[in-house]
Structure 1
Amino acid sequence: MKKYILTSAVVIAITALILSGKKIPMIFPPDPSIVVAQDESKIAIQNIIDMKYSLAAAILQKNHDKLSGDFTLRRWYGRALMHLGEWEEAARFFAIASYDSTIRGAVDADMERLRFLDKDGSHLASNLGLWERLKVNYAGGIGVESVESIGAGAIATAIPSRGSVAFWSPSGKKISEFFGMGRPSALAAHEGKVWAADMAGERVIRLSPDRGIEISLELSKLNVHGARGLDIDDDGFLWVIDFGGRRVIRIKQDGTLVSEIGRDVLRAPSAVLCIGKEILIAETELGKVLRFDRNGRLLREYTNPKLQAPVGLEKISDGFLVQDKNGRVYILYNEENGFLTQIRTKDAPLITSKFGIAIDEHENLWWGDGINLNTSRRVPADKPMHIVNILRTEAKRGLVEEGRINLLVSILDENGRALDKLDDEAFRVIYKKEQIFPIRIENLSQTLSGRRYALLIEASDAMLPLYDSIKKFVEPFISNLRAEDKTMVIEIRDTFSIARDFTYSSQLIEEAVSRDFNRVSAIDVKPAEALAFAIETLAPTDYGRAIVWLTSGAGIDDSAVLKLGRMSIVNQTPIIILHIGDENRMLLEILAKKSNGGYFRLFDSNYREISKLLSEIKSGRYRITAPLTLPEPSDRGKWFDVTCEVRYYTETAFDKLGYFAF
């Protein structure tokens, strides 16, 4: 037990209190059991960093009640459970940990990754309505209001103070800017060009990025008083808001009036959105979004107690967005239930402006605030471009004020397969909200040497009579693997394979292995536990890794397939199944598919075919080294978030990989 010693300063303070006649406060030394639990939990966290998830989970489970108020510890417990295939429990601990605002971003990244990995993830929390704020470095300070995406990452902006519309490339370079308008108030893209509503000039104008103004349609002859907004339907007709006339008109691209809607209903229309054969109108004065058919029949009203004065509308893949005058944005994905939620960043509600919003082809959200251009990236609600996990981090001291951070990052595609072709330019590391550079990237997936396989052979009565046949297959199989890569490691005795005489009875095998290698015996009666241990054993391997399992199919069930499939995906360890017989064939095929492995009937297959599959397995891991400014002395021991990002889709968008505090 630790001893607690009163320092001289404490003695002096107590003496002073006695002489003053004041009541001496009670001094409670910390509970020794809590101190022990805290020390053990630090060991558990290190075990997670070292990918020893079972050891970590056992420690954290034992100390959970003593440290129930530690949200960071709950997040670590969730990470261990995630890698052990206990995803429902992991989600529960992540949900609790998210109450701590200081680690909410990290927890959200964990939860997002977990939900994406779960192919049946309807029971896990959704990130619907979550956008991550990004910084853009162009169109700043020039009075940007309305914004429109014109495809391929390019953006058009209306700048009323200059009477102009400007076009920007994905990298932020100004392509062109065209003047001569009164007050461009809204933009709508169509076939690579932009239509602008000129509210002061009572006209709509078509512009192209290279030639400028191509068409100008005068609206005064149609008695339009204030062209506030516009959109274009599937047939190429323009729907223009006549703000002063309290209506929306439909015109051809030559300016011919076709029809009008809303005159008897609208009070202050501010935005229009065409969705198929129907029209949505944001009604600022009424505080509603109104849905009409093209003939003007009112179909539906959408309201929300928090929605005050809608000013912007945009279509997204699973509904539409409504921008309020106060800058808040709401997402409607279920038309029967009304507005679901206000969209958010990871830490707070997302606040835009009052000048309208735009959505590009990747569902990045754009808006102008009267000064600058702004954007937020949508956190995908179904499948990401990349599923990323920072597996290990290590901060090392170098010079007096500098060090370096090493990150081991795994990257999967939406199907859980390793991504092995990202170049160095795809990554960046953020520390204290600043980008660290230069960084060095080592693509471990591209390295063919150093792969590690676990060969598991079932020890059961069904397999014993086939020992000679199995041996004739396994020996050339291993030789063929080693011929392809002489540096690979094939774990046989040190993992689970029975490197013994199969003429023993099952009982004798169990007795023999229980004396010196008790995990082997689990294969005979508990194959799921043996496979789980094999996955965890291979997880720290930075290069390609896989399990080859020779089995009769005995002792496997639905719950085992679910857990093992999850573990194999999150730890990037495919399972190659060599099946003898027909027992549980369907379950084994499902497990092989879930793990991105392969299923073979042992005696119907050629060992070269299986070796070829193994030789194509990639690790999906990247080692990132970045220089790091060491914390100030007062910050030593504190946790700081390090964020790793990878570029996707366009050169200006980044996909958040996750957080790791150290």
Structure 2
Amino acid sequence: MRILPGRCLFIALAVAFFIAPYVHGQQTAGPSGTDRNAVFAREEFRLGVQAYNRFSFNEAILSFERALSFRPGEPLILDWLGRAYYRSGMEDTALRQWQAALEFYERGSNEALLLASRIETVWNRRSLFPDLDENARYVDAGRYPGRYDDLTVYRQPTAVLPLEDGSAWVVAFGSNEIVRIDVNGIIRQRQRGPLNGFDRPYDIVRGPDGRLYVSEYHGGRVSILSSRGEWQGYIGSKGRGDGQFVGPQNMAVDEDGYLYVVDYGNRRVSKFDADGTYLLSFGGKTGTFPGFTSPTGIAAGNGSVYVADSVNRTVYRFDRNGSYLGITLSEGLQGPESLRFTSDGRLLAADTNRVVIIDPQSAVVHELGVVGNSRVRLVGADVDRNGNILAVNFQADEISVMTRLDDMAAGLFVQIERIVSDNFPEVTLELQVQDRQRRPIVGLDGRNFLLSEEGRAAGEQSFLGAAYLSDRTDISLLIERSPQTAGFRNDLAVAARDAAAASGRVVSVVSAGEQPFLERSADAAQLDRAARGTDSQYSPRWRFDLGLRLAATDLLPGEKKRAVVFLTSGALNELSFSQYSLSELAAYLANNGIVFYAVIIGNASPSREVEYLCSQTGGSVLPLYRPAGIGPVIEGLKEKPNGTYILRYRSGLPTDFGRAYLPVEAEVYLLERSGRDGTGYFPPLE
């Protein structure tokens, strides 16, 4: 087999249709005979598809535009042109191409339905990582039952702890164990504690160092476990003295790692350090506090400790030393059993048969959803990595998975992002699975995917991996070369060194000067020189937009967990968005899974544009000399959720010696939700 020279290829194609006999399983309408326009269009289209799969989106756009000049209105070219604009961050232009393509596709066809769904999703999307919406309604999307027919999996769950990979630890009070359940409801791990086992475990929380704490109601103690669930030791014992328990139940860990345990039988809360050293207790009757009647849920953070009392239907607030600060909420609850902080500082509560969100500032309670099982007693609730609420139903022996009603209706947003066919008929796909708000869906495996060709299941489908499981990261350093940073060269070097030490790999260092360019940074000495720069590089006409595009583009072929780290004074200039707008830059980063961090050099405040880019990509603004340093935040990139998956299959379609455009479709299923995408590729020329 050999590759035909370009001119010979055109001659060979002179009797072919424009885009193969296969387009999503349908015959392509097109000219026959020796229509040279069809030949030229087909070749440009092939080059565009190949450029797209190399992440060369600008090159792909040029090829698709040239193909359209030969075949105006061809929907498949318009569809691909929209894909290239979308990945380039130009979402408005992408939507126009897709709308034009939709007009040419047959109404109700598979192509039209897929494209209409994509248009609706991109159009309606509002933010990258939204928090719990108090106006949203959550409904049952599935369940993790404790029993399957006559098989008992676990009994009487009392608490749940979501993990970064989408799975969750479930505390099984009735079967004396904790079990880790994946997103498909499959038990992946069981832990029963030390040799003598857990004694009625009740709650589970995680410390900042990853260690787990499990309260044991009958045992009158708290077990310390490793991050993987191996038992390490005990905190406390039965009794009424300091550091002792009578029926420990719910727990919380604050941002400094202090552990708070609700001692139900002693009607108090006890505080310990991370290693289990007893510090203090509070909750007894004082001059201002009436004392606990039935303490249940607890949440600690932002300098406060909130404790729910199920009998009094009240949430009390204390400081971290146990001093009573007043009533946070005294109306609107039916019988709260657990409290958990959400990422935006509100409180998520399991309240009899429903899950509610509480604003501690305004004392407003909003009902998110009600569990519809006839046997209901919710004793715990938390939000998993996919944005679902996991509600612990003690009475029904199950975990209810509750999803936003609009997400249930809309399904999953699936995108085939790249196809590698170099080893055809073996074909590798990279897919991105998100919800309709662009949040990544993690925790999937091979059972969640179905690949097909022309309506038939693809052969030898295999699941190769998921980016959320990887702890490998790439970063690009983008350095502001303005007069404001020229006087902080030592700080720039410190920031570059700290960022490089915290990341997996520095892919590139980009000087954002008047003409941005790549710096040499192969070793520590070169990185130091690159960060400091030379006098000639600093200019009031430095270009942020061009520098950011260059830094981000270098990340595309590498790891899926990736970020641009911008070393900046915080201020931008009038040239910052001369070629690319703020929205286009944000979309370019977000649509390619790139997080944006801004490290502030000096004492200035960041501009709103810089804050916007951070918020839209899941990044943050970091003062260089913050107490904890910038390292822990950049290291946290390893834990960022990522919905990229890699699958492989063996194609059974004829290739026309590599000239045929071959279709492939991917469907994704998760509980009651699904989504799909369809596209195609060109195999190697023979």
Max Rg structure = 1
The two structures have a TM-score, normalised by structure 1, of 0.48
The two structures have a TM-score, normalised by structure 2, of 0.47
Q: Flag the structure with higher helix content.
A: 1
Higher relative contact order (CA 8 A, sep 6+): 2
